[in-house]
Amino acid sequence: MLGFAKITRDFSERRRAEIELRQSAEQFRILVQGVADYAIYMLDPEGHVSSWNPGAQRIKGYTQQEILGQHFSRFYTEEDRTAGLPWRALDIAAKDGRFENEGWRVRKDGSRFWASVVIDAIRGDDGSLLGFAKVTRDITEKRDAQRKLEQAQEELFQAQKMEAVGQLTGGMAHDFNNLLMAVLGSLEIMRKRIADNPNITPLIDNAIQGAQRGAALTQRMLAFSRRQELKLEAFDVIELVRNMTDLLQGAMGPSMMIETHFPLGLPRVKSDPNQLENALLNLAVNARDSMPRGGSLVIAARCQEITKGEARGLEAGSYICLSVRDEGEGMDEETLANATTPFFTTKGVGKGTGLGLPMIQGLMAQSGGKLVLKSCKGEGTTAELWLPVAAETDMRADEQVAEAAPAGGGSFNILAVDDDALVLMNTALMLEDLGHTVLQAYSGEEALKLMADHDNIHLVITDHAMPRMTGSQFAAAIAERLPDLPVILASGYAELPAGSNNDLPRLPKPFNQQQLAAVIAKAVGAGPVANITVADGK
């Protein structure tokens, strides 16, 4: 035996590298296992799950034992699997190195969540595909919050748009009101002054009817813009519907049947009964047009309490839900969404103004209620009119108010003030035809000078929206000089501008000669003849 040969190699670096690698792998494992908000797991090249972290179990509901070896396509919806989305995602990741997407995913219990998905291809040193790293995040709450924000922004934009349209519509309607008042007043005086002539009087009557239809249209426009003068009072909605059943039946025709479903009794509501009748008539006509072969119209009512915070767009309190349901063609989603848009109509040219439903919407808003439309294509339409129940202070018996006759009869000296020459001339014509003496002025300043020169003026009729001095300011100036003078404002608007005296008596516009005579008679009966003012406010 000659001895031994011994070879020694230094593996210190290799061992340290192995230890560091194991430590790094352990740290990575601890990191991945510690993440609970993300599903982080590995897939083999065919898409089978090879690792599973607690975040994946929390989000998807599967334990590690249940899911290892399973294909990741089970997390996708049936529609996405049919479309081949899971395999397409792997192909894209293998080709491009990365795949990102958002979409619906399915948990173990079958529930869905909106997921943000990232798939990264994992390759070896030689470029071979080893598998995929997949990260999934549940962003359902984030998506819902974003959708709610977008909806709120859309609603704000829609509200701003509707406010602008309402301002434009209200201004146009008011101007047309003034013009139609002049036309109707002149025609009315002409009709009285001309002898019955079969060649002329029918033409005047037709012109009056046309102007009245135009006035009705402006009332709808003002109702839509919430500037219509409403007479809010407490009334029985069941009695109102029953009293107009014959009118509704006549409007719908013999092929239609009207049913009413009411409880034995309901509390009174607070709204404008005349405008509500117009709203019901409008809904009946819409129902008739949607049922060309006939059908039934069901009018029902129920009482319901709205609690604070309930998502109905209504203040907390008691309401009557008056519903009108037809068996017509119904509306698709797009038509339903635009149904209350001004001038939108599905009827033929000349058969609809597109202001019926906006008018009802405006009436409900002014009454403190809401219009709710429900419809599906082929299943008919239901219009719900939510009306607030009248408070105890509003409950009072119906009063028949007799129009007062002029105290002592005779004529009065009246000062008419308006910056619109047509309206001023029309008002003066109606007053002169009633036997009064009229002074005219085009502004408040000019009217005050006339009053200084004439101490025997009995009434003053003044426009409200005048330059430099409004009708309310003019009335205040009169009150300083003659504090006992009553003032009556005639206006087509529901509210006067800020700073106006809203306690003054009002005369709705457009008014005719009979209404003008009645308000003069009532004013004369309220005080001395020499202290009477009738003010016209735009």
- For the chain, report the end-to-end CA distance as a whole number of angstroms: 131
375 burial level (CB within 10 Å; 0-12, 13-18, 19+): buried
Closest by CA position to 295, among listed 243, 321, 259: 259
Residue 169, Cβ density class (10 Å: 0-12 exposed, 13-18 middle, ≥19 buried): buried
What is the predicted pLDDT for the residue at 406? Answer: 39
What per-residue confidence (pLDDT) applies to 156?
A: 75
Burial of 10 (0-12, 13-18, 19+ CB in 10 A): exposed
**324, burial (CB in 10 Å: exposed 0-12, middle 13-18, buried 19+):** buried
pLDDT number for residue 132: 93
> Alpha-carbon distance 195 to 208, whole Å?
17
Whether this prediction's pTM lies above 0.85 is answered by: no
Query: pLDDT means per 10 residues in the chain (538 residues)?
Result: 72 65 54 66 92 88 91 93 94 93 92 93 88 91 87 74 64 73 83 81 85 71 58 87 84 84 90 85 86 88 84 82 90 82 59 68 85 89 92 51 41 85 85 89 90 84 81 84 74 57 67 80 55 44
Q: Give the separation between CA 248 and CA 425, rounded to whole angstroms.
A: 40
Domains delineated in the chain: 22-138 (3.30.450.20), 149-224 (1.10.287), 234-308+315-394 (3.30.565.10), 413-536 (3.40.50.2300)
Return d(Cα 535, Cα 501) in angstroms, integer.
12
At residue 461, the pLDDT reads 82
> Which of left, alpha, beta for 324 (phi over 0: left; psi -120 to 50: alpha)?
beta
How many whole angstroms separate alpha carbon 515 and alpha carbon 518?
5
- Partner residues linked to 103 by β-bridges: 115
What is the Cα gyration radius of the chain? 38
Q: How far apart are CA 388 and CA 305, in angstroms?
A: 10
Q: Are 535 and 464 in contact (CB under 8 A)?
A: yes
How far apart are alpha carbons 514 and 430 in whole angstroms? 9
